[in-house]
């Protein structure tokens, strides 16, 4: 069983600032660092570090070769990555001393996928293989439809959220992983976490739904079944890849035979380690770190 993560890879330019910049303000940064990121690449590394066999497919420019080397060094297969004559996707991230962040995203190669490249990628996968998706690449409805026709199991993290996602063929999704804002957007309803989760499970029958809710932990819902797991407490210094880590460790744990609650607990522990470190991809822990 193989996992295809069809998604984004970015160069993250991280600026340490005393507070989020305000309109019209000029603010000095105490430090700047470049990190490997992108939700697709981050989730691929989390899956690989959690013990899964994962292929990453995306698109980079000449400035992104070092990102592929980093993915390879973390156990991710990058043979299906496309190259093009243009800039790799990148972000500008403001990071405060409290670990809060604000992100400007430029799509670059992530928004330049071509239909033929998509079909070519799927030739390497079969029925019951897994597809992991986010919302940082183009042609998302086509990718969902192609995976469904092949009989792959689809895990979707609809981030960053926008209303166009509600027009995708979401009935093909087997596992839906959202934060509270994404959950409200998909459910078209606000309220308590339990109320939003109930609205989602009612809308997406037979779909496994994981809703991460920050300091309140995470919720699982499928039809009438619900589970809540508290957060694993830690001192946060950078929350950039917390959700990506959670997804990777949750899905890898489920594939490796762990029950839902234990998979959520393992994912929570892994995320708590991630937020205690600077960076995105580099902050994701190894499997041995959560098992000790």
Our answer to whether residue 12 is catalytic in this structure is no
103 SS3 class: strand
Q: Which of 203, 204, 253 is nearest to 229 (CA)?
A: 253
Q: How far apart are CA 230 and CA 223, in angstroms?
A: 21
Among candidate residues 5, 129, 238, 244, the one labeled active-site is 244
Q: How many CB atoms lie within 10 A of CB 24?
A: 5
Name, in order, each residue with C-beta under 8 angstroms of 57's C-beta and a sequence gap of 6 or more: 4, 5, 6, 7, 80, 81, 82, 121
176 SS3 class: strand
Q: Which of 261, 266, 260 is nearest to 285 (CA)?
A: 266
Q: How far apart are CA 147 and CA 19, in angstroms?
A: 43
Structure tokens at 27: 């603010």
Please name the residue that has the structure tokens 């380690």: 273
Q: How far apart are CA 12 and CA 98, in angstroms?
A: 19
CB 18 within 8 A of CB 27: yes
Structure tokens at 170: 């979401």
Q: How far apart are CA 167 and CA 140, in angstroms?
A: 11
Q: Which of 291, 193, 272, 247 is nearest to 47 (CA)?
A: 247
Task: Give the active site residues.
Answer: 244
């Amino acid at each position: 069983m193989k996992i295809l993560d069809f998604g984004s890879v970015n160069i993250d330019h991280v600026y340490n600032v005393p507070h989020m910049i305000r309109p019209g303000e000029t603010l000095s940064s105490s430090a700047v660092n470049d990190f490997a990121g992108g939700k697709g690449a981050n989730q691929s590394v989390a899956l690989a570090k959690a013990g899964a066999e994962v292929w990453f497919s995306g698109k980079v420019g000449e400035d992104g070769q070092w990102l592929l080397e980093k993915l390879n060094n973390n156990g991710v297969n990058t043979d299906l990555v496309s190259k093009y004559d243009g800039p790799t996707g990148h972000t500008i991230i403001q990071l405060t001393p409290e670990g809060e962040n604000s992100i400007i995203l430029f799509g670059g190669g992530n928004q330049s996928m071509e239909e033929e490249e998509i079909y070519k990628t799927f030739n390497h996968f079969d029925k019951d293989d897994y597809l992991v998706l986010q919302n940082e690449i183009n042609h998302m409805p086509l990718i969902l439809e192609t995976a469904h026709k092949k009989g792959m199991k689809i895990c979707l993290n609809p981030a960053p959220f926008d209303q166009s996602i509600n027009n995708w063929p979401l009935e093909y999704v087997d596992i839906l992983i959202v934060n509270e804002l994404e959950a409200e957007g998909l459910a078209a309803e606000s309220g308590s976490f339990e109320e939003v989760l109930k609205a989602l499970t009612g809308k997406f029958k037979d779909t496994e739904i994981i809703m991460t809710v920050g300091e309140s932990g995470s919720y699982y819902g499928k039809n009438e079944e619900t589970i809540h797991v508290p957060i694993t407490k830690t001192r946060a210094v950078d929350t950039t890849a917390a959700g990506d880590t959670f997804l990777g460790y949750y899905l890898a744990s489920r594939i490796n035979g762990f029950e839902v609650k234990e998979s959520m607990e393992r994912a929570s522990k892994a995320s708590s380690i991630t937020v205690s470190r600077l960076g995105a991809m580099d902050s994701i822990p190894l499997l041995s770190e959560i098992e000790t």
